[in-house]
A and B are shown apart, each in its own frame.
Chain A
Amino acid sequence: MLPKLPRETLLDFCRRMLLIRRFEEALVGLHDAGHFSGHYHVYIGQEATGVAGLSCLESGDYLFTTHRNHGHLLARGADPRRLLAEILGRRDGYNKGKGGTFHVAAPELGFVHTSGIVGGIIPLAAGAAYAAKAQDSRRIAVCLFGDGALEEGAAAEAFNIASLWKLPVLFLCENNGKYGAGRSVGAAPSLTMAVHPLIDLPRAYKISAQQIDGIDSGAVHQAIFDAVATIRQGDGPRFIEAQTVRWPGSETNWPVVPAPTEVAMAWEVGSVPTAARDWYRISDPLLLFIRDLVEARQTTREEISELDRNVRGIIDDAARFALSSPFPEPETALEDIFA
């Protein structure tokens, strides 16, 4: 289902989702070519949540995200050149190469602090919501985390406080483990989490919670739009679990692209390579969105192909920029410890 939005907005969503996909695919290539060495996580397969969901926010809202942050930043308008430079540890990165893939912070976009510690941001997001409420501001905080974060005590403590104090915070759990290893079909990771469904956990703290199909841009947009509206009017926190199917390239310890995305795969199902065919045909939010757009005659195949060419150009330019950005001077390691 497409979000009920004007054509221009839908095409903008499509552009942003493509940008995330091309960015992450390029990133795997840059890693495999030895341009950066640290462990990293990509956002492929969750683009609908990042783009359609986060489009419901206002520019002053706060976002707290995790090790899987690239898609969230790009969805909110981050500069792919500076984002890539940061991941490659270069001087022109968002954080001068001090944060890297797990810790990209861009306060001007609302990304105050990004933590690689599972569950680490949940109390922080509650704190930003507390500040917004104390300052009588319209702002809300959005906390983006995976299903694993619910296993941390920080989540339970923050849910309790956010609920008690009616804090304006959206807990957006991106469960990319539908059908994943160690899980029963469509379920929570039953090997590590006794609560099932996951939304029972926030509900125990009297937080209104909802499970949605994170592949379906329309469902994501509607749920998050409604949740943001109730939070902004002072009704307290909300919890949404967006379920997606894990991209096969993320099933391995290090990301691997099983088959590079071609936009034509959206309308020529036969063109999908056998590797990971099911995922690209059924579970890919990007291809699903493009297929719906074309079928609804909101765009044409030609227009999508042109959009993709543009996005590829942006990513090529970002890669050139990042690779030519110098490494920081070693002595700068001693700067920025204290304000």
Chain B
Amino acid sequence: MRELAYYEAKLEALSEIMAADDRVHLIGGSFLSLSPRRMLFKKIEEMYRDRVISPPISELGFCGLAVGAAMTGLRPVVDLSTGSFIYEAWPQIVNEAANAFYMSGGRTRAPVVFHLLHGIRGAGAAQHSHSPQAMLWNSPGLEIVLPSSPRDVRGLLKTAVSTDNPTIFVDHIQLFETRGPVPESDDPIPFGRADIKRKGNDVTVVATSYMVQRCLKVAERLGVEGVAVEVVDPRTLVPLDFTTILSSIEKTRRVVIVDETHRSCGVAAELAARILEERFDKLKAPIRRVATLDVPIPYSPPLEDFVSPSESRIIEAIQSVLR
């Protein structure tokens, strides 16, 4: 099977989506943010000049515009670039898009995609390092997607554009150079299907987004030491494939959750609560969460590393549930 870099798979998906459906309009940036690869987006821009739109710096305005256009026949895909910028558009996303289908009693659909790059990109400091997906998960009506591999970004992006619901596509710039197999004729990946990224019998690690790659590295290292780590990637938070997570836990009976949202009321907190409600009696050790510490993201590299779900913290957590 051919191998692609993550950014290549993502651009390929965007090209295929644009070619397949002229209701799709790309509004915003290059979908590659500050990555040195961003110039590659130019090709799509030049090919579809009428459908690749550069708006003013008005997140509230152009996200609302995309929602309104989605309600009336288009399928806009908005690139908010840095995830933190979604807060500028919050009212249009969580209070208009998320509620439209429900408030109308199922009559108005808003098939819009908001693409953003969450998490610690490196020296982004407090205002450019957010992971807003936990807050968004607290806003019923939004689908939330977290790709972690070249194959997933391609397949999930296609599904995001094809569903009739507002979808938040939560990407991570640190994934862009990751390489992996991507079949030529890859089908869209349905939402709500977790993927076991590595099989193992000793401990379940549930991880999302870039943390999946970090956990795979840790699993590789621990594998050498004889610890078989199973890495489960939910891929979408809404809808959530809880069945796959529970089956893995029933097998290993030990679980660590690794996620880049903050610890309090974060993605790991929610998953831990649900696991306890369902399978408390099956666990051999308390659940451990490895999340971003409850502080704003600091600028200086050692500080940044200290608050993030680092490899050393993941290893420590896995070892503690194995004791």
Of B62, B100, B103, the residue contacting A161 (CB under 8 A) is: B62
Once A123-B63, A124-B71, A158-B64 are accepted as A-B contacts, the answer to whether A117 and B104 lie under 8 Å apart by CB is no
Which stretch (B4-12, B52-60, B79-87, B298-306) binds chain A? B52-60
Q: Which residues of A contact B141 (CB under 8 A)?
A: 337-338
Contact with B along A110-133 (1 / 0, CB 8 A): 001111010011111111111110
Determine whether B73 belongs to the interface, using a CB cutoff of 8 Å to chain A: yes
Determine whether A49 belongs to the interface, using a CB cutoff of 8 Å to chain B: no
Size class of the contact patch on chain A: 35 or more
Once A117-B96, A338-B143, A339-B165 are accepted as A-B contacts, the answer to whether A131 and B61 lie under 8 Å apart by CB is no
Residue with the highest number of chain B CB atoms closer than 10 Å, among A134, A135, A157: A157
Size class of the contact patch on chain B: 35 or more
Contact with B along A91-104 (1 / 0, CB 8 A): 00111111100010
Residue with the highest number of chain B CB atoms closer than 10 Å, among A120, A125, A134, A161: A134
In contact, A112 and B72 (Cβ under 8 angstroms):
yes
Q: Which residues of B contact A164 (CB under 8 A)?
A: 56
Of B68, B91, B165, the residue contacting A127 (CB under 8 A) is: B68
Determine whether B49 belongs to the interface, using a CB cutoff of 8 Å to chain A: no
Residue with the highest number of chain A CB atoms closer than 10 Å, among B60, B65, B70, B102: B65
- Closest A residue to B55 by beta carbon equals A161
Which stretch (B106-114, B225-233, B243-251) binds chain A? B106-114
Q: How far does the alpha carbon of A298 sit from the alpha carbon of B56 in the complex, in Å? A: 52
Determine whether B153 belongs to the interface, using a CB cutoff of 8 Å to chain A: no
Q: How far does the alpha carbon of A336 sit from the alpha carbon of B107 in the complex, in Å? A: 9
In contact, A127 and B69 (Cβ under 8 angstroms):
yes
Q: Which residues of B contact A134 (CB under 8 A)?
A: 25, 50-51, 69, 74
Q: How far does the alpha carbon of A336 sit from the alpha carbon of B108 in the complex, in Å? A: 10
Once A95-B104, A337-B141, A338-B141 are accepted as A-B contacts, the answer to whether A124 and B25 lie under 8 Å apart by CB is no
In contact, B64 and A123 (Cβ under 8 angstroms):
yes
Q: How far does the alpha carbon of A103 sit from the alpha carbon of B56 in the complex, in Å? A: 29
Determine whether B45 belongs to the interface, using a CB cutoff of 8 Å to chain A: no
Q: Tell me how far the C-beta of B201 lies from the nearest C-beta in chain A, rounded to whole angstroms.
A: 35
In contact, B101 and A337 (Cβ under 8 angstroms):
yes
Determine whether A160 belongs to the interface, using a CB cutoff of 8 Å to chain B: yes
Q: Which residues of A contact B104 (CB under 8 A)?
A: 95, 98-99, 103, 105, 107, 113
Q: How far does the alpha carbon of A131 sit from the alpha carbon of B103 in the complex, in Å? A: 22
Determine whether B264 belongs to the interface, using a CB cutoff of 8 Å to chain A: no
9 CB-based A-B contacts, threshold 8 Å: A98-B104, A105-B103, A105-B104, A123-B61, A124-B64, A157-B60, A157-B61, A160-B61, A338-B101
Given contacts A95-B104, A124-B96, 7 further A-B contacts (CB under 8 A): A94-B105, A96-B106, A112-B108, A123-B60, A154-B61, A338-B141, A339-B106
A residues at B contact (CB < 8 Å): 62, 64, 93-99, 103, 105-107, 112-115, 117, 120-132, 134-135, 141, 153-154, 157-158, 160-161, 164, 335-339
